[in-house]
């Protein structure tokens, strides 16, 4: 049996900070409302011309350096994203070129905010099966480019960033010990970008209507998230033959402080066992879990031997969790 672990991790967020006070100037909202309902205080936004593959490449370079391996050793690059530089080529192919990872296959994967967990499970399966030895999994997003900056229901929530991990074989008993993935296509309409695909190709009319922006039923997504976050962690724990009391640290998708608090409560975890940075970055979709995990590791809160639970949910609808012995 092969054990697959994270050999290196890195993340990158763009420099420009947009605070809630900045948003007060653009729309009918307040810092107080945003902090109370979401926990978000500020978010990072790409500069003009800065793309998802730029963020992904920087995070990947840091992960490679952390793992101490060269780009040429990478066999596969998977990027979870819903904000690719363009429809195609994939972000993964652009990153492959930037890194000169000449021996790597490359593809993007669409699971919205669950994209990193889906990528982690997919990438680790290639290593478990013996097909590949080193896989780069990246979550990278520039949601600021698909948000309607006049819509206070969505614009306050999102930010840009990227996180990356290098997966490879690790010591027996360590690494990814249990996983859970799920989807509920019936809820697809709750969170979507309606235009720009084959159902509604982009026209002047779709642009006028704002159908190229994120459309979301916030309340329904909130209810879904509350339900699914605890459940998916419990399923991944069962897959690992562990229980919630074994968790040293929970690294949840950073969408909303209230959703994070509810997940912690349902798992019986005190908040000091939860990595939280939603206040600084908002919801960076597929990037949020690897950015939070990177902060947890680099700050020393996550140490060797710890049992880490990663958990996310997102459009699709999708969800997923992973249990890792660090």
Instruction: Give contact residues for ligand ACO (rule: CB under 6 A).
Output: 29, 33-34, 37-38, 112-113, 152-153, 156, 191, 216, 218-219, 221-222, 225, 255-256, 283, 285, 314-315
Q: Write the DSSP string, 91-102.
A: HHHHHHHHHT-T
Select which of 113, 249, 256, 277 is catalytic.
Answer: 113
What is the smallest separation between the CB atom of 241 and ligand ACO, expressed in angstroms? 30
Residue 224: which residues within 8 A CB-CB, separation 6 or more? 184, 187, 190, 313, 317
**Closest separation between CB of residue 158 and ligand ACO, Å?**
7
Q: How far is the CB of 300 from ligand ACO (least distance, A)?
A: 29
**Beta strands 318-325; 307-314: pairing state:** antiparallel
Residue 184 CB, nearest approach to ligand ACO (Å): 13
Q: What is 68-88 written as a DSSP string? A: T--GGG--EEEEE-SS-SSSS
CA quadruple 239, 242, 244, 248: dihedral positive or negative?
negative
Task: Give the residue with the Cβ less far from ligand ACO, 170 or 256.
Answer: 256
Measured from the CB atom, the residue of 220 and 239 that comes closer to ligand ACO is 220
For the CB of residue 257, give the shortest distance to ligand ACO in the complex, in Å: 9
How far apart are CB 141 and ligand ACO at their closest, in Å? 9
**Which is closer to ligand ACO, CB of 34 or CB of 101?**
34
Contact 194, 215 (CB under 8 A): yes
Asked if 42 and 52 count as a contact pair (C-beta separation under 8 A), the reply is no
Does an H or E element contain 11, and which? strand 3-12
Per-residue DSSP letter, 189: G
Q: Check if 113 is active-site.
A: yes
Catalytic residue among 93, 249, 253, 277: 253
Using CA atoms, how far apart are residues 211 and 121, in angstroms rounded to an integer?
Answer: 32
Of the candidates 103, 314, 44, the residue with the CA atom closest to the CA atom of residue 190: 314
Looking at the Cβ atoms of 168 and 282, the one nearer to ligand ACO is 282
Q: Tell which residue, 161, 170, 182, has the closest CA to residue 320.
A: 182
State the catalytic residue, choosing from 20, 256, 277, 283: 283
The SS3 of residue 160 is strand
Residue 133 three-state SS: coil
- Closest to ligand ACO by CB, 12 vs 319, is 319
Q: Looking at beta carbons only, is 125 or 153 nearer to ligand ACO?
A: 153
Active centre residues (catalytic): 113, 253, 283
């Amino acid at each position: 049996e092969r054990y697959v672990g994270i050999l290196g991790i890195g993340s990158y967020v763009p420099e420009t900070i947009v605070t809630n006070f900045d948003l007060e100037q653009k729309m009918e909202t307040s810092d107080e409302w945003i902090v109370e309902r979401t926990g978000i205080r500020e978010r990072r936004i790409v500069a003009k011309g800065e793309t998802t593959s730029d963020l992904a490449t920087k995070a990947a370079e840091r992960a490679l350096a952390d793992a101490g391996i060269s780009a040429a050793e990478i066999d596969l690059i998977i990027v979870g994203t819903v904000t690719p530089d363009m429809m195609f080529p994939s972000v993964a192919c652009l990153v492959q070129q930037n890194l000169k990872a000449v021996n790597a296959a490359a593809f993007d994967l669409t699971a919205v905010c669950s994209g990193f967990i889906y990528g982690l499970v997919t990438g680790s399966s290639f290593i478990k099966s013996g097909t590949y030895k080193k896989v780069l999994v990246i979550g990278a997003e520039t949601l600021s480019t698909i948000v309607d900056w006049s819509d206070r229901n969505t614009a306050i929530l999102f930010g840009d960033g990227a996180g990356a991990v290098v997966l490879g074989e690790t010591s027996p008993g360590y690494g990814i010990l249990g996983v859970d993935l799920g989807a509920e296509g019936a809820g697809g309409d709750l969170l979507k970008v309606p235009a720009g695909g084959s159902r509604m190709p982009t026209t002047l009319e779709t642009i006028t209507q704002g159908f190229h922006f994120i459309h979301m039923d916030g309340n329904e997504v909130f209810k879904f998230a509350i339900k699914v976050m605890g459940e998916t962690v419990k399923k991944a724990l069962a897959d690992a033959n562990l229980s919630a009391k074994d968790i040293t640290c929970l690294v949840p998708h950073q969408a909303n402080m209230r959703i994070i608090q509810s997940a912690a409560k349902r798992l019986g975890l005190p908040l000091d066992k939860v990595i939280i940075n939603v206040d600084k970055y908002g919801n960076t979709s597929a990037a949020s879990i690897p950015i939070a995990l990177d902060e947890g590791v680099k700050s020393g809160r996550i140490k060797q031997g710890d049992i880490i639970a990663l958990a996310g949910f997102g459009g699709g609808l999708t969800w997923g969790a992973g249990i890792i012995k660090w």
